[in-house]
């Protein structure tokens, strides 16, 4: 467009002049100090808005809704030929992968209890003449402390699986030596039949004659200083009823109480790496000899009714206070309100077959004999005993068929139990019936004891021919008699 000459100068077109004036005005406004403040404030407000929106209102790929697991199961079942996984999962489309391949059975845990870890030989000492004379006047007692008698009888009975699998009559072949120590029998007769108190002379009359025979008439104790010897202590304080216990301290103890806590040497916790925790005998199963199969089907269900009793408990609790040492005060909570729930029951016997859960709080020790009665009747045990070491924990997954509640959460027991989904309860009950019952004293106790002995003596995968001669286990050797 042409320019117009005016008084010796070029005159710009009016539109160009107006456009440049507008740009100059905008620039002047933006560069003004007050405008810079407004712009900075606006930018900060916008930044804060974006930050809040992204942090709190933008869904994450990992915010999965509660029903995700069910949808995953449906997706896995419908997706027969999975393709390349989605690398950008969302709440509606999670990553679906193929399951891992199975691994060698030796790497799995818990292990298959039907497979032997090793096949050692155990020699059982005969009763010394002096001890036989004592037994003539001290008959067996019907108390819950008869685990020592049951384990000994299983080894001595030629028809038992334990005898056929492990016992040798030739001590020169043996890997381990079992001392037929029945100290609880002696003490229980003194306390409950004769009505005496204290130690009843158990050291002079029983312990020393027994150990003198073992250590002086046979060479095997002195060969290893007793480290390959076994003896059972079924009472709460294990060997601490005997003043002369140092004479047999090197032996491995089979005890019914396991304690993981850091406590003084006056209780069993001080020997937890030398002891093997075994099941306890119970009045219901081993004295009265109630047969659970009379009340339950082969799959563990009640024969007549269903499991409509939510929680069962049989034991002392009405005179227990929260501050008491006995049960660490846990049992006082029963009297404070748990026993008032309509689907709780303190009745016992036949109700075991109808109970879903069985309360097993600690008593004088962390263990309670009620636990084994619950297991026998397919009742999922609720264990409230911080630091307890259950029997055969190296081979048995107790958490898969029990509920453990810490002492600090004991007052919330009702809430915890009622929050367990029905599917999880049924899974625990099935594992309890198939696996948990094998832990019982009358079932596979010796086979599980031997698994622990195999690890301690480094005999895994071996079969004993003679004491120092072993050969690899064969498929035939793996079968329990």
**Would you state the structure tokens that stand for residue 310, as one six-digit string?**
């939510």
pLDDT of residue 4: 45
Higher pLDDT among residues 350 and 114, named by residue: 114
Q: How many CA atoms lie within 13 A of 358 on its CB side?
A: 30
Q: Of the given ranges (80-94, 206-220, 269-283, 362-376), which has the lowest mean pLDDT?
A: 80-94
Q: Where is mean pLDDT largest: 115-119, 143-147, 208-212? A: 208-212
What's the rounded Cα separation, in Å, for the pair 393 and 399?
A: 10
Residues 62-90: tens digit of each pLDDT? 555 556 566 666 666 655 555 555 555 55
Residue, of 322 and 109, whose pLDDT is higher: 109
Give CA–CA dist 282/144, Å, rounded: 5
pTM above 0.85, yes or no: no
Segment 137-150 shows an average pLDDT of: 91
pLDDT above 80 (res 379): yes
The structure tokens listed for 339 are 């026993």
Q: What is the mean pLDDT of residues 159-186?
A: 96
pLDDT for 337: 47
The model's confidence at residue 7, banded by pLDDT at 50, 70 and 90, is very low
Task: Check residues 380 and 263 and name the one with the higher pLDDT.
Answer: 380
∠ at Cα 368 (109, 144), nearest 5°?
110
Question: What H or E segment, with its residue span, contains residue 464?
Answer: strand 462-466
Q: Are 377 and 295 in contact (CB under 8 A)?
A: yes
pLDDT above 70 coverage of the chain, percent: 75
- Alpha-carbon gap, residue 374 to 432, rounded angstroms: 10
> Does 289 score more than 50 pLDDT?
yes
Structure-model confidence comparison of residues 402 and 349, the more confident one? 402
Q: What are 17-21's contacts with CB under 8 Å, separation 24+?
A: none
Q: In what order do the strands lie in the sheet with 309-312?
A: 344-345, 309-312, 355-361, 380-384, 403-404
Answer yes or no: is pLDDT of 182 > 90: yes
> Distance (Å, rounded) from C-alpha 410 to C-alpha 416?
9
Alpha-carbon distance 359 to 412, whole Å? 13
Tens of pLDDT along 440-452? 988 889 999 999 9
Q: What pLDDT, in 10s, does the model give residues 381-424? A: 999 999 889 999 999 999 999 999 999 999 999 999 999 999 99
Over the chain, what is the mean pLDDT? 82
Strands (E), 210-361: 229-233, 252-255, 275-277, 309-312, 344-345, 355-361
In three-state secondary structure terms, 347 is coil
Query: Tokens 């304690």 appear where?
Result: 259
**Architecture field, domain 290-439:** 3-Layer(aba) Sandwich (3.40)
Q: How far apart are CA 272 and CA 265, in angstroms?
A: 11
Helix (H) or strand (E) segment spanning residue 123: strand 122-124
Give me the residue spans of the domains in the chain: 4-47, 122-281+445-472, 290-439
């Amino acid at each position: 467009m042409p320019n117009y000459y005016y008084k010796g100068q070029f005159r710009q077109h009016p539109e160009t002049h107006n456009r440049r004036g507008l740009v100059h005005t905008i620039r002047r406004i933006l560069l003004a100090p007050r405008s810079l403040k407004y712009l900075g404030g606006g930018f900060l407000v916008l930044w804060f808005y974006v930050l809040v929106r992204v942090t709190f209102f933008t869904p994450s790929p990992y915010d999965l809704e509660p029903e995700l697991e069910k949808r995953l199961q449906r997706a896995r079942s419908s997706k027969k030929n999975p393709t390349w996984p989605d690398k950008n999962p969302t709440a509606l489309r999670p990553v679906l992968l193929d399951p891992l391949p199975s691994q060698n059975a030796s790497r799995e845990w818990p292990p298959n209890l039907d497979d032997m870890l090793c096949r050692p030989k155990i020699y059982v000492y005969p009763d010394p003449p002096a001890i036989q004379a004592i037994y003539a006047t001290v008959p067996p007692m019907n108390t819950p402390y008869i685990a020592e008698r049951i384990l000994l009888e299983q080894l001595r009975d030629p028809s038992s699986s334990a005898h056929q699998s492990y016992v040798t009559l030739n001590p020169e072949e043996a890997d381990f030596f079992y001392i037929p120590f029945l100290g609880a029998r002696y003490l229980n007769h003194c306390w409950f039949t004769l009505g005496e108190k204290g130690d009843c002379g158990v050291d002079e009359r029983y312990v020393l004659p027994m150990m003198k025979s073992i250590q002086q008439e046979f060479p095997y104790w002195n060969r290893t200083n007793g480290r390959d010897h076994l003896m059972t202590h079924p009472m709460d304080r294990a060997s601490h009823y005997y003043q002369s216990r140092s004479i047999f301290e090197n032996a491995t103890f089979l005890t019914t109480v396991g304690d993981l806590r850091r406590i003084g040497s006056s209780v069993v916790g001080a020997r937890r790496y030398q002891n093997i925790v075994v099941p306890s005998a119970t009045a219901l199963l081993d004295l009265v000899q109630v047969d659970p199969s009379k009340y339950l089907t082969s799959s563990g269900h009640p024969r007549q009714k269903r499991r409509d009793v939510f929680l069962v408990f049989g034991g002392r609790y009405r005179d227990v206070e929260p501050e008491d040492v006995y049960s660490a005060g846990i049992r006082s909570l029963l009297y404070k309100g748990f026993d008032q729930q309509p689907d709780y029951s303190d009745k016992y016997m036949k109700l075991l077959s109808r109970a879903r859960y069985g309360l097993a709080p600690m008593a004088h020790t962390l263990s309670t004999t009620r636990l084994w009665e619950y297991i026998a009747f397919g009742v999922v045990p609720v264990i409230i005993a911080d630091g307890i070491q259950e029997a055969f924990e190296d081979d048995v997954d107790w958490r898969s068929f029990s509920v453990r509640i810490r002492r600090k959460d004991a007052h919330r027991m009702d809430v915890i139990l009622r929050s367990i989904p029905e599917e999880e309860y049924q899974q625990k009950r099935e594992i309890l019936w198939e696996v948990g019952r094998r832990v019982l004293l009358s079932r596979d106790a010796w086979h599980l004891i031997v698994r622990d002995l195999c690890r301690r003596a480094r005999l895994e995968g071996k079969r004993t021919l003679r004491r120092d001669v072993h050969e690899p286990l064969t498929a035939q050797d793996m079968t329990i008699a």
